[in-house]
Amino acid sequence: MDEMTFQEKMNQILDRIRDLPGAERATTETTDTTTARRAQVQQSVGELQEGLDYLRLSVKYLVFDLEATRRENAYLRRMLEASARDSEKRLRNDEERPESRDQWE
């Protein structure tokens, strides 16, 4: 039940209470209690909606952070692979150089 439906039903109930004859009508104390409870329920619903909004925002932030972390990881992996390739090339070149030096000496 959404808030709009709840409010409509509550208004209908309060209207019925007001329309009852004097002997059957609830005392003002009961009506005041009902009104106070209604206010508490509305406040609880508002707090719940705020909590859900905060939860949605937190989830969106976490998804954004996860995507950014994945992008950063992919970038860093590419950098490591490039660095490893460069290191291998340097090692190969270093291994080839002493042999060529020996030939000239």
CA distance 92 to 8: 81
Give tens-digit pLDDT for 51-95: 999 999 999 999 999 999 999 999 999 999 999 999 988 888 877
Average pLDDT, the chain: 83
What pLDDT score was predicted for residue 23?
Answer: 56
Q: Which amino acid is at 51?
A: G
pLDDT at 81: 95
Residue 79 has, within 13 A of its CA and on its CB side, a CA count of: 6
Q: Determine how many CB atoms are found less than 10 A away from the CB of residue 105.
A: 4
Which has the higher per-residue pLDDT, 20 or 41?
Answer: 41
Tell me the whole-structure pTM to 2 decimals: 0.50
Q: By C-alpha distance, which of 20, 47, 18, 21 is closest to 34? A: 18
31, 17 contact by CB (below 8 A): yes
Q: C-alpha angle 98/99/102, rounded to 5°?
A: 85
